[in-house]
Amino acid sequence: VPLEETSLPLFFGWFLLPGIQDKVRCTSMDFLKTLDTLEAFKKHLPDFTVEAEKEVDLEQYFQANGALHCTTKFCDYGKAEGSKEYADKSAVKELYGSAFELSLSALFVTPRTVGARVSLSEDQLTLWPADAEKEAVPLVPAAATLPVGSRAHITLGCAEGVEPQQTGFDLLEILALQQEGQEGELVEEMELGSLAYYGKGRWLLSLREPVSAQACFSSLYG
Ligand code: ACK
């Protein structure tokens, strides 16, 4: 195989620096620990799990996988459409290896995934693929009308048998509901922010203070 066909990574993205990874993991754990003890969560438990369980331990329910990151472009070593074009973008070449501050504005939980929403700045959007939201349309039709960057997220954990790319789809679903004017059912003011319920086991915690996370724009070969 010629080198040029093997030189594209599994994906490009922002990789959180070690110290902030620990902080984000702790914040996520605290949230999960609190969420599954709330009466509102217990009330909606049948929406969350199909099994006739009375309780669920969310910390056990989700499995964490690897270093925390925010994927910009999934390349699959060049097999994914548009990979080469992305790698050739001037912003990608210029900013490769640079440090960024990502703003984590919300945490969300669904029966499939737990993740953090990343609110991208103008500068950061120069690294965001123009079609990232469009690619999700087969699964989340309303993604076609959401602003670019809406899919940006950090996967914090997946339920058994769920692929990490699901986290972005789950986030888009919640944002699509918000765009339609559904504010979600305000459930509780928590220390971290306000918690709202969007039906079908979908929970969103809008952080009072966004978490600022130092991250390096780079790629993973895996
Ligand atoms: O949590 P994520 O964003 O979801 O990070 C991982 C990373 O690439 C390595 O698997 C993401 N990923 C996997 N497949 C795709 C895909 N088809 N489109 C976009 N992101 C993907 C996954």
How much of the chain, in percent, has pLDDT values that exceed 90?
87
Tell me the C-alpha distance between 137 and 80, whole Å: 16
Cβ-defined contacts of 57-60 (< 8 Å, 24+): 58/32, 58/33, 58/109, 58/114, 59/29, 59/32, 59/33
Our answer on whether the CB atom of 74 is closer than 6 Å to any ligand 1 atom is: yes
- Mean pLDDT throughout 82-105? 97
Interval between CA 174 and ligand 1 midpoint (Å): 19
Average pLDDT, the chain: 94
Burial tier of 34 (Cβ tally within 10 Å: 0-12, 13-18, 19+)? middle
pLDDT given for residue 105 in this prediction: 98
Interval between CA 81 and ligand 1 midpoint (Å): 14
Amino acid occupying residue 32: L
Among 28, 69, 70, 71, name the best residue to mutate to test ligand 1's pocket (greatest count of ligand atoms within 8 A of Cβ).
Answer: 71
Predicted TM-score (pTM) of the model is: 0.95
Question: How many other C-beta atoms are found inside a 10 Å radius of the C-beta of residue 16?
Answer: 23
Confidence category of residue 186, pLDDT binned at 50, 70, 90:
confident
Catalytic residues: 69, 153
Interval between CA 75 and ligand 1 midpoint (Å): 9
Our answer on whether the CB atom of 11 is closer than 6 Å to any ligand 1 atom is: yes
**pLDDT greater than 80 at residue 53:** no
Our answer on whether the CB atom of 14 is closer than 6 Å to any ligand 1 atom is: no
pLDDT given for residue 4 in this prediction: 53
Short-list 204, 171, 215, CA closest to 68: 215
Our answer on whether the CB atom of 71 is closer than 6 Å to any ligand 1 atom is: yes
**Beta carbons of 116 and 82 less than 8 angstroms apart:** no
Q: Strand 113-119 vs strand 11-16: parallel, antiparallel, or unpaired?
A: unpaired
- Mean pLDDT throughout 109-129? 98
Tell me the C-alpha distance between 46 and 88, whole Å: 47
